[in-house]
Amino acid sequence: MREMASDFSRALCLLRQERGISQRKAAAELGVSQALLSHYENGIREPGLSFVTKVCDYYHVSADFLLGRTASRDGAMIEAAELYDAADEKGSLKGSILATLQKKLVMNTTGLLFDLLGKSGDRVAITAAGDYLGSALYTLLRSLYRRCGGNEDFFAVTSADFDGGLVDADMTLRRAAYLRALNSCETLPTLSSDDLTGIPGLGQSAAQVLHSADERANHHMED
């Protein structure tokens, strides 16, 4: 419940900022005091069902979206690309909203992955999975850092080796180590699709990540 309250507070604040209105104006139109709305936005107070319903109608979103159970504003599963069209009538999703939604999808799905790996107790598989994701994040962060004018002397890998694919090679090796560990592990749990998508919050995010990846891969096959 605490996690959903946090998701609600974050969504409530971001939706107001996205619309470009003051807290005072939003509070007046939602029929509450500015102080109470501030408490809701900062997670100090938990709202009742009637207020959640008002917010859904006011911002034209679903309760599942407000509570962080889906990244789709109407409560349905969406593809990653559709996030860019879900914000407003002009079809432009502001960066703060998009970043928050994408962060939630990735963090929840990563959490599910390591929860499942943790049941196996296989340290090699867990470490290899973490290393693989770490290298992927390294690549994304370093590329952003470079584009924003950062001094790459901060990194131990030289710019030439980075551009030459050294980190990409590490990811390939980490993936191979992960697969070897899975193949040799005798304590892996038996999983069904419900284990991937049936957990509230985490499963919804995982379903969207997996669905989007399927769609992208199949699209490449069609090209």
| Domain CATH for 84 | 1.10.260.40
Give strand ranges (E) for the chain.
none
Same domain, 88 and 20: yes
Same domain, 147 and 196: yes
| 193 φ/ψ sector (left φ>0, alpha ψ -120 to 50, else beta) | alpha
**Nearest residue to 206 via CA among 118, 137, 107, 101:** 107
Same domain, 110 and 201: yes
Same domain, 80 and 41: yes
pTM passes above 0.85: no
The tokens describing 3, both together, are 């996690």
Q: Encode the chain (223 residues) as per-residue pLDDT tens digits.
A: 444 456 788 888 888 888 889 999 999 999 999 999 999 888 888 888 888 889 988 988 888 777 766 666 665 544 444 444 333 444 444 455 667 778 888 888 999 899 999 988 899 999 999 999 999 999 999 999 999 999 999 999 999 999 999 999 999 999 999 999 999 998 888 888 888 877 766 777 888 788 878 888 887 777 6
Q: Among 50, 71, 98, where does a domain finish? A: 98
> Residue 185 CB: number of other CB atoms within 10 A?
14
Same domain, 92 and 107: no
Residues in Cβ contact with 211 at an 8 Å cutoff, skipping those fewer than 6 apart: 77, 79
Instruction: Give residue 108's pLDDT.
Output: 86
- Could you list the residue range(s) of the whole structural domain that residue 88 is in? 2-98
- Give the Å distances, CA to CA, from 135 to 65, 143, 166, 168, 220: 31, 12, 10, 8, 24
Q: How many domains does the chain have?
A: 2
Same domain, 58 and 120: no
The tokens describing 142, both together, are 């370093």
Residues in Cβ contact with 121 at an 8 Å cutoff, skipping those fewer than 6 apart: 187
d(CA 38, CA 58) in angstroms, rounded, equals 17
Same domain, 108 and 37: no
> Residue 122 CB: number of other CB atoms within 10 A?
20
Same domain, 90 and 154: no
